[in-house]
Structure 1
Amino acid sequence: MARDDFRLLHRERVRWGEADMQGVVFNAHYLTYIDVGVTEYFRALSEAAGGGGEGLDGNLPVGGGDFFLARTELDYHAPAEFDDMLEIGMRIKRFGRTSVEWVGEIHRGGDHLMTARMVYVHADVETKSSKPLPDAFKQLVAAFERVPPEGA
């Protein structure tokens, strides 16, 4: 995937506490970076929809639902190190009936460090049971993304 495919590129610096004794980022912190990317994606999507960037708590048309992580895959290509400036790219690749497939990448300059694939299920806030994605949400995401998601 090309970096230009990502509308959202969030910059994040590696902090001291995220690196091990060799100065390399401990693997579990990549999940935190990707989670920050998802949060920043929803903030940018909310702003694009004319809101104040409140994310899911703002003006996004999620139909009384929320998203729950169901699956994550991480592929490590090269290590990040203490004080590196990272770019976290996030995009929604595909819509299912009740799910959203995300792709995330972490870069340092021209180096592609990590790729993440995640599936989030859209569910009723009260019952936590899956429910179909609202068409308004899919349309908003499709208009926001540089590469339209499959199933849009």
Structure 2
Amino acid sequence: MSHLFSCRVYYEDTDLAGIVYYANYLKFIERARSEWVRELGVDQSALKADEGIVFAVRRVEADYLSPARFDDVLTISTQVRDISAARITLTQDVSRGDDTLFKSVVTLVCLGEGGRPTRLPADIRQLMQR
């Protein structure tokens, strides 16, 4: 099951050629991940304050297929590929209508106090596996 998040390309997202600057796709998928976690009912601020747990990006594989342009409405699809004790692997695609513009595989890790890997709480793992 995919989580869908929509965003519009603003002028500030583009480069001199009028297309979305490549690094901004990472911002788009970050926003989509944040909204996905929020919609699951996970309060990341409380998770950090109460349990000292945060999520961090460990790895991103990115494939730029076609450019997005100013004023395009994009849809970011987030789907769980795999979850282990302390790691979450997602696929995130950015589309404009039926055209896929950007594909990525993102690996997140669960970190505890001092930035050391820690187990993802079982209740959160269950929410993400649905």
Could you state the TM-score of these two structures normalised by the residue count of structure 2? Answer: 0.89
Note the 1:2-81 alignment, pairs <5 A: 5-6=1-2, 8-46=3-41, 55-58=43-46, 64-81=52-69
Residue number in structure 2 paired with 1:142: 129
Post-superposition offset of 1:58:
4.8
Post-superposition offset of 1:141:
1.4
Residue number in structure 2 paired with 1:105: 93
Aligned-partner residue type, residue 134 of structure 1: P
Cα distance between partner residues in 2 of 1:89 and 1:11: 9
Match status 1:89 vs 2:77: yes
- The count of aligned residue pairs is 129
CA deviation vs aligned residue, 1:38-85 (integer Å, no higher than 9, x gap): 111111111xxxxxxx731257xx954211111111111111011100
Give the structure with the higher percent strand: 2
Residue number in structure 2 paired with 1:129: 116
Post-superposition offset of 1:22:
2.3
Aligned-partner residue type, residue 123 of structure 1: L
Cα distance between partner residues in 2 of 1:139 and 1:96: 11
Residue number in structure 1 paired with 2:107: 119
Cα distance between partner residues in 1 of 2:81 and 2:46: 23
Could you state the TM-score of these two structures normalised by the residue count of structure 1? Answer: 0.77
Unaligned runs of 5+ in 1: 47-53, 144-152
Query: Structure 2 vs 1, CA of residues 70 and 10 (structure 1 numbering), >3 Å: closer, same or farther?
Result: same
Aligned-partner residue type, residue 19 of structure 1: T
Moved over 3 A (4+): none
